Structure 1
Amino acid sequence: MAKILISPGKYVQGKGVLKEVGEHIAKLGDKVLALSDPVVLDLFQEEIKEGLKDKDLLLESFNGECSKNEINRLKELVEEKGIKVVIGIGGGKTLDTAKAVAYYAGLPVAIIPTIAATDAPCSALSVIYTDEGVFEEYLFLPSNPDVVLVDTEVIAKAPARFLVSGMGDALATYFEAAASSLTKTKAMSGGSPTMTALNLAELCYDTLIEYGLVAKKAAEAGVVTEALEKIVEANTLLSGLGFESGGLAAAHAIHNGFTVLDETHNKTHGEKVAYSTIVQLVLEDREPELIDGVIDFCKSVGLPTTLADLGIEEINEDDILKVAKASTVEGETIHNMPFAVDAQMVKDAILAADRLGR
């Protein structure tokens, strides 16, 4: 199998770069649809207009769900207005909608995340929901966004929990890519992990451990520091390239398993992934010093290390087995691990990780 690395056409990050977006999309087109949710429009409308002052701009409010109806509504608008480039500005569902609309309309797309809570902005993927917010399907796109632009001044103004959640999502990147590389599993790139992807994933982990806590303090203060810049890059670019071209394994599958329990629904994606990463390390029988180090990091920045932290106050082993069974269904990424994994193994690892976290 060929080794394949995929990535956005251009990645731009820095303080105040939202006001420079026009120059970074100059080659994509002059007639722009900028899709943003109402909250983001209220906060950053002037910066968006300043950045796109030389463009023929249509500002459009996102309806809240990345659904087929919303995608079709916007596709019709794009065609009616003769739009040449789509820009998504906001959180994950806004960005995924912009990607999908651009894909179906055959247009380039620029992505501007306003939080650093996941590694999704750089990816060639949209998650499609019903109008009611129920997961429907993954839309795998033929290419990554043409431009990803991250204004760290905007990121710093968001609640610090989002940045920490992004660290939780990014924490899994190296360990999942390392496991996938042993089995030479096909990643979302369409090929097996490249040496580049694995090294980027490792750099992502090292950056989190070294700068995560300091960056959280900067986010709590609402200021941009070099540590915050490093963590935003780790959460967004390093983790994005690492997971997409390095591969997924147990941690994200176990995250998916936890979604069967209502108690976990008020936890973010990254918070559940962080705990699931500890479970993967237990499954792999990693060195105690490494597991302790990951747990200490999670505690330092406020990521979950126990089931109680995930909202599971009363441990019911039957419920944990339900999580384990959902984690190990056919086709889940847990089967990318370099050894066979069954539900009983996952259940035991979940309970063992909880004890270690205490």
Structure 2
Amino acid sequence: MLLQHGAQAVPFRLGDGYAPSVAGKQIARACHETLMRDGLAAYDAARAGCLTQAVENIIEANTLLSGLGFENCGVSAAHGVHDALTVLEPTHHFMHGEKVAFGIVCLLVLENRGPEEVEEAVHFCAAIGLPVTLADLGLTKVSDADLMQVGEAAMNPASVIHSVPVPLTAAKVAQAIRAADAIATRITGR
């Protein structure tokens, strides 16, 4: 892809990174607030076969808001970890969103977010049955070598993980996955 820089077009690679836009940040914030406010009620209503305003709000957040906010504020490491986890066979039967949920915890660890933010994400995902630990993903006996393989896959130059605003290496990704598992295990008591 080429981007226009002044009078000249320059090649752009995802790995070059990009700054979140003001609009992207606000849309991402609105998406998060909607998920936190209406997520559990929507989950319960949908499981009961009901279409409520909370369900409608979550549908809007998942399709419209996340689609608009993703371009510059997408949960880049969450998707990068999802993509990389597919190198481990036990994760193959899990759905995209399930692996991304665990990846969100990894993203928060990579960005060194505060404990309250990590706890909020872990509690929310666990409350609606999303995986937050390696065991939840069928990876009860994952080795450090396996996680290093995941870290290496995550560092593919085309991966969205490169949008994370911190320097990354395969080892940092592997260690963040292990740390995210330990943190979520402590929080959930599993």
Residue 340 of structure 1 is aligned with which of 161, 167, 177?
Answer: 167
How do 1:104-143 residues align onto structure 2 when only pairs under 5 Å count? none
Q: Using the TM superposition, give the Cα deviation of residue 331 of structure 1 relative to its aligned residue in structure 2, in angstroms.
A: 2.6
- Give me the whole-angstrom Cα distance separating, in 2, the residues matched to 1:302 and 1:195: 32
Residue 209 of structure 1 is aligned with which of 20, 32, 36?
Answer: 36
Q: Does structure 2 retain, via aligned residues, the 8 Å contact 1:274–1:298?
A: yes
What corresponds to 2:133 in structure 1?
A: 306
Give the letter aligned to residue 146 of structure 2. D
Give the letter aligned to residue 288 of structure 1. P
1:252 is aligned to 2:84: no
Residue 276 of structure 1 is aligned with which of 103, 108, 128?
Answer: 103
Number of residue pairs aligned between Structure 1 and Structure 2: 173
Select the structure of larger CA radius of gyration.
Answer: 1
- Give me the whole-angstrom Cα distance separating, in 2, the residues matched to 1:294 and 1:251: 12
Q: Does structure 2 retain, via aligned residues, the 8 Å contact 1:328–1:335?
A: yes
- Give me the whole-angstrom Cα distance separating, in 2, the residues matched to 1:239 and 1:261: 27
Q: Does structure 2 retain, via aligned residues, the 8 Å contact 1:282–1:352?
A: yes
Residue 56 of structure 2 is aligned with which of 209, 213, 229?
Answer: 229
Give the letter aligned to residue 122 of structure 2. I
Q: How big is each residue's C-alpha offset from its partner over 1:113-143, in whole Å with a ceiling of 9 and x where there is no partner? A: xxxxxxxxxxxxxxxxxxxxxxxxxxxxxxx
Residue 240 of structure 1 is aligned with which of 67, 78, 82?
Answer: 67
What corresponds to 1:324 in structure 2?
A: 151
Give the letter aligned to residue 90 of structure 2. E
Q: Structure 2: give runs of 5+ residues left out of the alignment.
A: 5-13, 186-190
CA change 1:245–1:291 in 2 (3 A) is closer
Q: Does structure 2 retain, via aligned residues, the 8 Å contact 1:193–1:247?
A: no
Residue 122 of structure 2 is aligned with which of 270, 287, 295?
Answer: 295
Report the TM-score, using the length of structure 1 for normalisation. 0.46
CA change 1:298–1:247 in 2 (3 A) is closer
Give the letter aligned to residue 284 of structure 1. E
What corresponds to 2:176 in structure 1?
A: 349
Give the letter aligned to residue 336 of structure 1. S
Q: Does structure 1 retain, via aligned residues, the 8 Å contact 2:80–2:161?
A: yes
CA change 1:297–1:247 in 2 (3 A) is closer
Q: Using the TM superposition, give the Cα deviation of residue 248 of structure 1 relative to its aligned residue in structure 2, in angstroms.
A: 5.5
Higher relative contact order (CA 8 A, sep 6+): 2
CA-atom RMSD, angstroms? 1.9
Give the letter aligned to residue 115 of structure 2. P
- Give me the whole-angstrom Cα distance separating, in 2, the residues matched to 1:346 and 1:196: 28
- Give me the whole-angstrom Cα distance separating, in 1, the residues matched to 2:148 and 2:108: 19
CA change 1:272–1:342 in 2 (3 A) is same
CA change 1:337–1:235 in 2 (3 A) is same
- Give me the whole-angstrom Cα distance separating, in 1, the residues matched to 2:113 and 2:71: 24
CA change 1:218–1:314 in 2 (3 A) is same
Q: What SS does structure 2 have at the residue aligned with 1:331?
A: coil
Between the two proteins, what is the percent identity of the paired residues? 43
